[in-house]
């Protein structure tokens, strides 16, 4: 579904998701502890690690709703960068 780097980065920003709990596509990032400050930090980390820029349309609560929606947005940005 996504690469290990993405999961590692995402898990660092999800304090309510235990290390033994699976990170599934439908995992709610908000319920897993992603607050607005963590969202900004996650965004900066993803942009740096993947060398992409989140466009204004991608910076919405829907983008950061689940692991799957965030990864789908990321892959779209990666594809646009090529």
Domain of residue 48, residue span? 4-11+27-81
Taking the C-alpha atoms of residue 2 and residue 15, their distance in angstroms, rounded to an integer, is 20
Structure tokens at 34: 């992603």
CB 30 within 8 A of CB 10: no
pLDDT in tens, the chain (82 residues): 899 999 999 999 999 999 999 999 999 999 999 999 999 999 999 999 999 998 888 888 899 999 999 999 999 988 865 5
- The CATH number covering residue 33 comes to 1.10.1200.10
Look at residue 16 and tell me if it is in a domain.
no
Model pTM score: 0.90
Look at residue 21 and tell me if it is in a domain.
no
Look at residue 53 and tell me if it is in a domain.
yes
CB 71 within 8 A of CB 29: no
Overall number of domains in the chain: 1
Chain centroid to Cα 51, Å, comes to 14
Look at residue 75 and tell me if it is in a domain.
yes
């Amino acid at each position: 579904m996504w690469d290990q780097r993405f999961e590692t980065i995402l898990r660092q920003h999800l304090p309510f998701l235990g290390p033994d709990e699976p990170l599934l596509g439908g995992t709610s990032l908000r319920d897993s502890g992603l607050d607005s400050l963590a969202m900004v930090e996650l965004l900066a980390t993803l942009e740096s690690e993947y060398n992409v820029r989140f466009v204004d349309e991608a910076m919405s609560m829907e983008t950061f709703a689940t692991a799957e929606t965030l990864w789908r947005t990321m892959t779209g940005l990666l594809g646009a960068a090529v």
